[in-house]
Chain A
Amino acid sequence: MFNWDLKREWKEKNSIGSMLIFLLSTLMVVYFALGTQLRPGIWTALYWIVLLFGTSGIVLRSFASESKAKMLGIYTMIHPNAFILARILFNGVNSLILSLLAAFFFLFFYQLEIASPSTFILASVLGTLTMTSLLTFITALSYRAKNPHILSVILAFPISIPILLSAIQLSMISTGQVGLVSSLNLVSVLVALLVLVVVLSLLLFPYLWRD
């Protein structure tokens, strides 16, 4: 299933291009509005805004490109858990690429002192992975209803706050800001959230599957 997704993505090469254009246009706007100097707080805020909207774009696209007939074919072939797991993995890889690109371009255009690169990388990786798995599950859920695009945002926004909050705090710490809690705590919170989201998806997705 994962391979199949990968192949499809390979066929539509424009997706990586659209990611790039999205990133660059955001940066352009930031550049025109704020100039060349950014405080770490604003840098982190923009970085996470880009990641949030970028990952939701990736997840929505992975579901939108499926036709009804194709879905029916998949339904009969594989186990629901295999499906959701493959989706999460696939979207996760895509989002990691996005976060890598985002970090690269942000650092390329804006000099930022990252006091602890390992913390920054952990924050980006764990934050995007957890966000993506949550978004994947919620989008799969809202694709059972009318106008899934709007619905998935409404449903995902309130429950994604804890993830965003800990990821942002962690990346703030990595830029040398003093946080209220140690980065180790935040990392363990993020790991726990990631595991929780994946386990819940595996437990609950079979119920969405039956139709």
Chain B
Amino acid sequence: MGVFLVLYAIVGGLLIEVPRLPILNETIRNLYFHVTMWFSMIILLTASLVHSIQYLSSGSLERDTRATETASVGILLGLLGVITGSLWAKFTWGAYWVNDPKLNGAAITILIYLAYNILRGSLEDPKKRARISAVYNIFAYVLLIVFLIILPRVTDSLHPGNGGNPAFSTYDLDNNMRLVFYPAIIGWSLIGFWMVNLRRRLFLLESKDDD
């Protein structure tokens, strides 16, 4: 089973490698990485939310493990998204970090899930930890989404697509980009879920060792 999963991951990883091959110096290509990473992060965090809700209704600790691992892989993707975005910003805006609502939103997303991890760290009883962190996960996720929706409307953004900057929709006619863009989102999400699975299995093995 493990071998099968690893094989699947190698194949999956290679499949996702394909859209990434044409890396040139045109910064629009960052769309394939930066933007898709953020999409996948949201997808993973949403999956984490679903697991948390399922945990609260079923009470099985496996759901809890899934929720945590999904959240941490989601945040890893978020961090990668920040790094790629920051490199892109250096070339387009001239600085690694600017005061932009989307950047602030990113920083807060990462802070929320760091807080989630701190919360888990401070609870010892696994059942209690699972329940309380699931509650926080749901609460924080809902407020985060609201925040990500209202923030760009309350302040102006430098991001493409905001404040009259050229954006994705300008390139809508270019179907080739879409052909790469959507598979890239799916690809990153699949890699994410594969990592979640690995981490979950590792966690299971470790807890077996403890017994």
What is the interface of chain A, defined by CB distance below 8 A to chain B?
Answer: 134, 137-138, 141-142, 144-147, 151, 154-155, 157-159, 161-162, 165-166, 169, 180-181, 185-186, 189, 192-193, 196-197, 200, 204, 207-208, 210-211
What does the 1/0 interface line of B147-191 toward A look like (CB < 8 Å)?
100110111100000000000000000000000000000000000
Q: Among A147, A161, A180, point to the contact of B156 (Cβ < 8 A).
A: A180
- Given A207-B56, A207-B131, do A162 and B147 touch, yes or no (CB 8 Å)? yes
Chain A residues, CB < 8 A from B119: 142, 145, 151, 154-155
Is A181 a contact of B153 with CB atoms below 8 Å?
yes
> In whole angstroms, what is the CA distance A193 to B153 when docked?
15
Chain B residues, CB < 8 A from A147: 122
- Given A154-B118, A200-B139, do A162 and B131 touch, yes or no (CB 8 Å)? no
What does the 1/0 interface line of B126-159 toward A look like (CB < 8 Å)?
0010011011101110111011001101111000
Number of interface residues of B (CB under 8 A): 29
Q: Among B56, B118, B143, B151, point to the contact of A159 (Cβ < 8 A).
A: B143
Q: Among A162, A189, A208, point to the contact of B135 (Cβ < 8 A).
A: A208
Is B111 a contact of A157 with CB atoms below 8 Å?
yes
Is B123 a contact of A155 with CB atoms below 8 Å?
no
Is A158 a contact of B151 with CB atoms below 8 Å?
no
* Chain B residue with the shortest CB-CB distance to A211: B128
Please tell me if B5 contacts chain A, counting CB pairs below 8 Å.
no
Residues facing A in B105-124 (CB within 8 A) are 108, 111-112, 115, 118-119, 122-123
Chain A residues, CB < 8 A from B143: 134, 159, 162, 193, 196-197, 200
Q: Select the residue from B111, B139, B140, B142 with max chain A CB neighbours within 10 A.
A: B139
> In whole angstroms, what is the CA distance A144 to B56 when docked?
16
- B63 CB, min distance to chain A CBs, angstroms: 13
- Given A154-B115, A180-B156, A208-B131, do A159 and B122 touch, yes or no (CB 8 Å)? no
Q: Among A134, A141, A192, point to the contact of B136 (Cβ < 8 A).
A: A141
| A contact face: mostly helix, strand, loop, or mixed | helix
Is B132 a contact of A200 with CB atoms below 8 Å?
no
> In whole angstroms, what is the CA distance A144 to B154 when docked?
35
Chain A residues, CB < 8 A from B146: 162, 192-193, 196
Chain B residues, CB < 8 A from A211: 128
Is A204 a contact of B135 with CB atoms below 8 Å?
yes
Chain B residues, CB < 8 A from A185: 153
Chain A residues, CB < 8 A from B140: 155, 158-159
Chain B residues, CB < 8 A from A155: 115, 118-119, 136, 140
* Chain B residue with the shortest CB-CB distance to A160: B143
Chain B residues, CB < 8 A from A146: 122-123
What does the 1/0 interface line of B56-81 toward A look like (CB < 8 Å)?
10000000000000000000000000
* Chain A residue with the shortest CB-CB distance to B55: A207
Q: 20 A-B contacts, Cβ less than 8 Å apart?
A: A134-B143, A138-B139, A141-B139, A144-B128, A145-B122, A145-B132, A151-B118, A151-B119, A154-B119, A155-B115, A157-B111, A157-B115, A158-B108, A158-B112, A159-B139, A165-B154, A204-B138, A207-B131, A210-B131, A211-B128
